[in-house]
Structure 1
Amino acid sequence: MSANRRIAGNVVATILGEGVGALLNIYVIILIARELGPENFGAFSFILAFVGLIQLVTDMGITNLLVREIAQNPERYPAIIGSVRSLAWMLTGIVLLPLSIVCLVFIEDKDFGLSLLLMASAALAVMHAVIYGAVFRAFERMTFNATFFVFHKILLLVLVLVWMAGEATILNLCLVYLLANIAQFLMFFIATWKVFGRVELAFDYPYLKYLLIEAIPVGFSMLFRKATLHVDSILLSALSTPLALGLFSAAYRIIQIIEMLPFTLSIPMYPQLARLAGTNMQAFNDFLNKILRFYVMIALPVMGGLFIFANQIIGIMYTDDYQSAGALLQALSVVVFFIFPSSIMIYVYTATQKQRLFTWVSLGVFSINAILDVIFIPFFDALGAVIGTAFAEAFFVISSLYLLNKSGCIVDVVSIIVRPLLALVLAVTVFELVPIFDGILMLIVQGVLFLILYAALLLVTRAITLAEIKTVAQGLKRSKAQSVDSQLEGNG
């Protein structure tokens, strides 16, 4: 199988898995938000934000490096995964012991302390699952990852429905997440054992030392990026009200769901970027520009759709108590424009051996977000957090493009953005002049009409040409024909 077809197959499997999983996750979040109400949902969002940082600290970028290590040295898979498993269990103990003491002894609200501990345990279970998931990624068998992701969301949905039928407290909800995440870990563990063979625990100190040293820059950058995602919730909890946190979380959760798409698309792009960066910088730049152009064309209609239909989306997903979140989602829509290109940046920095630069940029983004939150939240509540998030994400993309340009990664920003942006402005202007109707069916119909109008305007503004569409179609036909020929040869 050619590299392009392999990448395409993994992209399709991942998109299908992430897509179905994302829809299930959206439904789960809607059920939880409706059941808890804005204030309790805000408290639960704080717990999620806190344990998300714990999970990132324990991972420190090791799983990303694990993919590279196994892909480059597949024969060493048992030794590599055996050592990383030992490290993961040690980190689990190091984190859980002091956290248990803090949660069970020093936190006065015992239910909150126990909820925090259960959710932290659930996050650590995900870390173990991701280690085994990295094995399937390294061997480019992402169908397993996609399948288990969907199974995990189905199980979580079932458990949440059981939770709603019983005593629907935050404590019991955290227990639901723990059970679902343990099941996900067991699925990956058993599948890895069956597909690649059982691996015993090992401890290769020199190798683990090397792995940790290599992971530190990547880990810190991921930590800062993850912290940026959660700093708004944490500072809203400290500087504003639970209601403001709940409203912001309801709107921002939609952005986080959308964010899964560009990150999913970016994962299979990394190997090609890495190869080109080491052999042909001009080809690397051409490939990067194509990726960013594609991302911009997708990001803009999503951003426009959120801006136009924000109130309708909030009305469908949540109860009337969340009505004020519509304005927040409308303001957050601008963030979508930046999260698409930002999703590929970690792979661009890594491919060009600029990991340490990525760490400093990520620290800058986190600092800007936190500082703006501290300044604006006391005056504007949840809208202050939106301002911090939007400016921080814009800084990340703009500064990355500038710094990468200085190091030889040339991106033609004007040709990538101007014409698609003009098409979007025209499409949004048209829809601002027509009435927007409520209801799921009307949202789907109007959303499809908006996409059709945007696509037509892409052609009118020559952001994309019929010749380019024809070239892509011919390429897809050739790929399909080659796939059929390969199957016939195999059957013969």
Structure 2
Amino acid sequence: MKDRRKLIGNIMSLFTLQGANYILPLITLPYLVRVLGPERLGLIAFSQAFIQYFVVITDYGFNLSATRDISKNKNKKEAINEITSAVIVIKSSFCIIGIIAILLITTFIESFHKNQTLYIVVYMTVIGSTAFPLWLFQGLQRMKQITILTIIARIITTASIFIFIRDKNDYIYAAFIQSSTMMIAAIPAWFLILKENNHAIIIPKFKAIREQLKYGWHIFISTSAINIYTNSNIFVLGLTTSPDLVAYYSVANKIIGAILGLFQPIITGLYPHVSTLTTQSKSLAKSFTKKISPYFLLFGATLSVITYLFSPSIINIVAGNKYYSSIDILKALSPLPLLIAIGLMYGALTMLPFGMEKPFSRITIMGAIIDISSIYPLTHYYAANGAAIANVLTEVFISTAMIIYISKQHKKRRIL
């Protein structure tokens, strides 16, 4: 009963955290789309999509792999210190390499050079992601404090948008403010974890670093593949179309992202719990996931129906009548909540906790290949709507492939 209360408390904290991450930026979106205009908003969206590749590299799947590792060693202080220090070394190294890469790309490639300042400013997102120890708090299942810190940081950046952004020429400042949230939250977060939990940063052994790279590898490949088919659509639109079309797609994508964000606190709270259950009894873990599955899928289906039916009203409220083109894009993206619910249920809450990282990686890599293969012809013929169609088709494949794989494992009795 105590564990259940703690689990529910962590999920509620994560819901609050996710709400801050998605709802507060949505508060500023109506203001930004009107002040900056489609062209400047499109430039910011393209730069954020580009920099997101570096975020994925520095994260290296640690939000799942390190979370799982820490949750399994949560009563072993020395082990947690070793894991934490190894993860910090890896993430910091990748972040520094990324800075060098950004400077080289924006200096020597002309199409990137003209907006070099924007890309460098948005790289603050990578630095913040590197510094923010979400994976550590998740593994320790102590989310309340970091939730408060994140909300405070989001409130600061949200208020700053309204205070400092006055016209379309302030788009660099807008990008900087949006990219600095995690950095603002990271400093007090580390103070809390080092002081209150009596943990320390040490010089990790090479073996510990190698183990974390090994543990996170398949999840890294998976998250990289996922990033390709979720993030590359904006990136490809930016390369092949105008900033205006990128802005129309970006508005719809941010809205669907906020809706999909409702799943994240549930998954983040349940994942370490299911991982712990698998170490105790695989049949117990299976029973738990089977029990929650219908509610999870019903939640996804409900969100999809609501998104489709109310797309015109949502776009009009968030972006205004100048973004009428975003309505069809949002409708095209509306199946995603149900598809993502299926993928998370069979993937993050079944395949990964049960040690099926390799098939999980193969499925997501195939999904990325499908997206890359379809995105160019679809955007050529259908522009921004084509990007949305490519996204949905990819998720259909991934969800179906996971269902088929898990069904086969049940028949072979490999999931007890």
Other-structure match for 2:379: 377
Counting only pairs closer than 5 Å after superposition, residues 429-448 of structure 1 correspond to structure 2 as: none
- The answer as to 2:102 corresponding to 1:99 is yes
Give distance in 2, aligned partners of 1:239 and 1:99: 21
Other-structure match for 2:88: 85
CA contact (8 A) 1:263 1:343 kept: no
| 5+ residue gaps, structure 2 | none
Shift of 1:275: 4.4
Give distance in 2, aligned partners of 1:365 and 1:164: 39
Aligned length: 408
Other-structure match for 1:356: 358
Cα offsets for 1:386-424 (capped at 9, x unmatched): 1111111111111101011111289xxxxxxxxxxxxxx
Instruction: Name which of structure 1's ranges 33-42 and 374-383 shifts more when overlaid on structure 2.
Output: 33-42
Give distance in 1, aligned partners of 2:286 and 2:112: 54
| 5+ residue gaps, structure 1 | 411-492
Counting only pairs closer than 5 Å after superposition, residues 264-343 of structure 1 correspond to structure 2 as: 264-277=265-278, 280-343=281-344
CA contact (8 A) 1:96 1:121 kept: no
Other-structure match for 1:143: 144
Q: Give the structure with higher Rg (CA).
A: 1
- The answer as to 2:46 corresponding to 1:46 is yes
Distance 1:106 1:386, change over 3 A: closer
Other-structure match for 2:77: 75
CA contact (8 A) 2:277 2:284 kept: yes
Cα offsets for 1:253-299 (capped at 9, x unmatched): 11111111112111222234334445555544433233221122212
Give distance in 2, aligned partners of 1:280 and 1:71: 16
Shift of 1:312: 0.8
- The answer as to 2:6 corresponding to 1:3 is no
Shift of 1:106: 4.3
Looking at both structures, which has the greater relative contact order when contacts are Cα pairs under 8 Å and sequence separation is at least 6? Answer: 2
Shift of 1:5: 1.4
CA contact (8 A) 1:303 1:337 kept: yes
Q: CA RMSD in A?
A: 2.2
CA contact (8 A) 1:11 1:264 kept: yes
Shift of 1:6: 1.2
Cα offsets for 1:322-348 (capped at 9, x unmatched): 012112212211122111222332232
Distance 1:105 1:201, change over 3 A: farther
Other-structure match for 1:400: 402
Partner letter of residue 288 of structure 1?
A: T
CA contact (8 A) 1:37 1:321 kept: no
Cα offsets for 1:432-476 (capped at 9, x unmatched): xxxxxxxxxxxxxxxxxxxxxxxxxxxxxxxxxxxxxxxxxxxxx
Distance 1:107 1:138, change over 3 A: same
Shift of 1:136: 1.8
Distance 1:283 1:191, change over 3 A: closer
- Aligned identity (percent) is 16
Question: Secondary structure, in 3 states, of the residue corresponding to 1:215?
Answer: helix
Other-structure match for 2:30: 30
TM-score when scaled to structure 1?
Answer: 0.78
Other-structure match for 2:197: 196
Distance 1:409 1:188, change over 3 A: farther
Give distance in 2, aligned partners of 1:347 and 1:285: 10
CA contact (8 A) 1:118 1:175 kept: yes
